[in-house]
Each structure stands twice: as structure tokens, then as C-alpha cells.
Amino acid sequence: MSNKLKVGEIEVGGRVWIAPMTGVSDLPFRRAASRLGAPYVATEMVASDEFARGRPDVVRRAAVGEGLPLMVVQLVGRDPATMAQGARLAARAGAEIIDINFGCPAREVTGVACGSALMREPDLAESIVDAVAQAVDVPVTVKMRLGWDAASLNAPELAARCVGVGARAVTVHGRTRSQFYKGAADWAAVAGVKAAVDVPVIVNGDIVDGETARQALALSGADGVMVGRGVYGRPWIAAEIEAALAGQPFEGPDAPTRLAIVLAHFEDALNFYGARLGLRIFRKHLAAYIDNAPWPMQAEARRAARSRLCRLEDPSEVKSELAALWRGPEARLAA
């Protein structure tokens, strides 16, 4: 099985994609993951109406930047014309794929009838995909859930309608909106979407390593997997899972290499946002890196280290404390 996928005319160089995640998949994170082998990392969810008005924080979420193997911008909204305009702006800025969000379960998104709420309005969802596909020359894709709730599992029908008006790939999170992130993702239920469309289908939800990826692909029949929360603190996970799917060995980064990854990511965040905002935004990543640090450490000590570093206000102090934290466990192990 080839590890490459075709989305329209775009070739994605792997079957393991990284999900769009608000507060996580900003440009510094996408650059870090791309350097470490991720072939596809989408932007944070971008509100199309605010993007079209040029709100600085929203424009920043769609930042293109250099050094990415593929530029994917995810848009959210419910007005077809505004979504089309947002797509045109994104394509003009360099987006090579436009992804449409029909899957976000967050109350602030569904409360304005966007994200997964649009699964309850399939006519409007289809109109949005149609408008966006007609507005741009780049491939348009959609990300959805199984349905709004267990009584309305309409992902196969909606996927078929979206593909009928131009969608070139479909990602499905194996939960309903009503589940949020509770319970286990139902990978087998994604098989219905795979049977309903003739474009690549990507299965998402609870995929954290090679074994869960293999199971998700086997049960869903999907063409690839999308990793969400499993990438926290592990931006190399796409390459690790890809190797596992190919039956190849993968040597994860050792402790010094991981420290270098953290510091390079941090420096990029500081340069991108400025020191004060960059430090604040990076704290979510910093906590995840500490949680996944590659040495034995009691949970209480790990929590204390995370709490201490995430309260620091001076970037240089964060760097020196990180280096000391990384040296500490190694020194104990060598003793």
C-alpha cells in the first residue's frame, strides 16, 4: 500500500495527517511537526468572516510561512458567500488545500450554528462546499463527525453530498458531537463513509501510535489516519506512525534531541508572536513536552516541574530551566 495520497491534484506524502487544533496547530507548531516528518498539518480553525475582515489574530491562525511541505487552511463558518471569500483569500495567500470544518463540537462554535452543528443542516453544508469549490482552484476537503448524536448518524450521506459538489477528501472523527471526546472513537462506523464516496477518507479519533493507527485503518477501511491530541508534546508522531504502518523500525528522538526540538519550537514561537505573547502561547506546548519527557519521573515531580516552568515570565529563564530539567533526570540515571 502506497504511503502517499492524492487529494485532487495534490499529492500528500504520507497517510498520517495532523489535525487542525485551535491553540495548538499554529505556524511554529506546524513548522516543528513538518521538520520532523509530518506531510500534512492543517492550520488552526479559521473563522471565515473574521478572516475576510482581516482580524489580526485570525489572520495569524492562517499564517502561511515558509518551510512547510503543504499549506492547508481550515475554515469554519455558515455563510456560503463568506466561506467562499475566505477560501479565495486563503488560496491567494498560498493555501494548497482548503478544509471545511463540519466537525468542531465546541459550544462556542456550535452555539453559532457552525462546526458540527452544520451536520444538522445538510442542505446548507452542501451549499458551503459547493460555493467554496467554485471559488478556488485548489482542492477542497471536509472534516466531520459521525453525526450530531446517536439518532442522526448522517456522515455517509453528508460526505456523499459534499463529494458530489466538489470535495476531494473527507476526514471523519469517529464520535458524534454529543459525545464530545468521551467514550471511544468508533472507527468501524467510518466504514460507511468509505463505502459512500470515491475520494480519500481519513479516520480520526483516539489514534496515538502505530497499533491504534493499524486498528483504525483495518476497521474503517480508510485511506489514512489523522492524529489530534496524540501529537501533544510529540511533533514527530506522524513519522513514527508511518514507520509502524510500513513495518519499519523507528528510533524516536533521544533526550538531547528532544530538548533541541523543544527549544527550536520555543524560539520560533517567540519570533513569530513576540516574546511576551509567544511565551504565553507556548505554555500549552511546554506542558505537553514536559509530560512526554523521555525519562522516568514521578507524576508529582513532573507536575511540579510543569507548574514551575509554566509560571516563568522570562524566556531566557524558561530556556535555562528546561536545560536544567533535562540534565537533572539524566544525571540521576547516570548516578
Residues taking part in catalysis: 104
* Cα separation, 99 vs 140, whole angstroms: 6
- Count Cβ atoms below 10 Å from residue 176 Cβ, excluding itself: 23
Q: Grid cell 525519562 — which residue? A: 295
Confirm if 150 and 178 have CB atoms less than 8 A apart: yes
C-alpha cell at 328: 537533572
Burial of 316 (0-12, 13-18, 19+ CB in 10 A): exposed
Instruction: Give dist(CA 267, CA 170) in Å, integer.
Output: 34
Give every CB contact of residue 184 below 8 A, 6+ residues apart in sequence.
206
C-alpha span between 141 and 133 (Å, rounded): 9
- What separation in angstroms does the CA of 47 have from each of 73, 100, 134, 153, 273? 11, 10, 19, 26, 20
**Residue 58, SS3 per DSSP:** helix
